[in-house]
Amino acid sequence: MIERRRLGGIVCPIATPLTPAGKLDREVLQRHLDWLTGKVDGILLLGTSGEFATLPPETAAEVVRIASAAIAESTTLYVGVGDTSTARVLRNVEHLPERTDYAVACGPYYFPAVSQLALAGHFAAIADRSPRPLVLYNIPQNVGASIQPATVRELAEHPNIDGIKDSAGDMMACLETLALAPSGFAVMQGREQLAAVSIWAGAAGIVSSLANLTPDRLRALAEAISQGDRQLSRKLQIEISDLARIFEQGHWLAAMKAALQELGLPVGDPLPPLSACTPDQRSAIRAILSRHEVHSIAVDSAPRLERAPRR
């Protein structure tokens, strides 16, 4: 039996850097991974921030192959396997690399009217077949159906389902999920604006697109809460919520990539049909970064394209 690694903490759903031709920029990916080492507890490949739904299959496979060999041993690795149907997700889990610690699956998207019974069956089928423990991913604004707290409670009984990333932004439902979840089941918050209240309420961590840009503030917030410092945690939450206004500048994914470019990491723009940020939107992003003194992303050592995989 494979020993479970830490689930929770500060998890970065890493952006996928692309060249102007839309190919994976391996060097930039390695630079970003190197910079994140020691700053986050986990890396999520092929999350929404990683453009999993729009990447060509060969690019997605290359992201997983390159990054899974390069991520530090101390970092928990999550790999997104979400797709439009149960059959497609089952195909994806068959190709998880050995280095994977957790598979992450959203509900099937495109057909929005999926019942709770169907969702429960979808996730149970994935967990039955996945060679790694499963983390549920609740993002109804993209999928069209929310995983209700009672369904999470039911799925939490599955021996191969260990947690949930909740990006719905519904704090009442999140609190109910926290109340219903059994001991050892990790509820992680995916909305930066709800980070503090979620951790105070018992969430196991934060899976935040902001971790691509400023993981130090998310770490400081979690540490302030662990020390019971309400005043500091409030101050940091206000800063984090203001930084999240970056995502209001055009499409949030384009804004995240524009912010990374402003910080010196040339990750390119999102794939079409998403549009890059306008000059005015980029100016607003620069102002937010400057207001909070977010520093450039720099790596002292030369990039290493691959490391030996974990044995």
pLDDT at residue 298, rounded to an integer: 66
Alpha-helix runs per DSSP H in the chain: 26-36, 57-70, 86-93, 116-129, 140-143, 149-155, 171-180, 195-200, 215-226, 230-243, 252-262, 279-291
| Residue 306 pLDDT greater than 50, yes or no | no
279 part of a folded domain: no
Residue 280 lies in a domain: no
* Average pLDDT of the residues in 261-270: 97
Q: How much is the average pLDDT of 154-164?
A: 98
Q: What pLDDT score was predicted for residue 310?
A: 39
Does position 140 have pLDDT exceeding 80, yes or no?
yes
Q: Is residue 81 part of a domain?
A: yes
Decide if 281 is inside a domain: no
- Torsion-angle region of residue 9: left (phi > 0), alpha (psi -120 to 50) or beta? left
Q: What is the CATH number of the domain that holds 157?
A: 3.20.20.70
Tell me what pLDDT residue 45 has: 98
Please, what is the average pLDDT of the chain?
94
Domain span at 223: 9-229
User: For the segment 165-180, what is each residue's pLDDT rounded down to a tens digit?
Assistant: 999 999 999 999 999 9
Q: Respond yes or no on whether the N-terminal peptide bond of residue 303 is cis (omega within 30° of 0).
A: no
In a domain, 71, yes or no: yes
Q: Is residue 209 part of a domain?
A: yes
Q: pLDDT tens across 61-89, in order? A: 999 999 999 998 899 999 999 999 999 99
Q: Note whether residue 275 is domain-resident.
A: no
pLDDT at 3: 67
Rounded CA-CA distance 268/151 in Å is 38
Any domain includes 295: no
Number of domains forming the structure of the chain: 1
Could you give the 3-state DSSP secondary structure of residue 30? helix
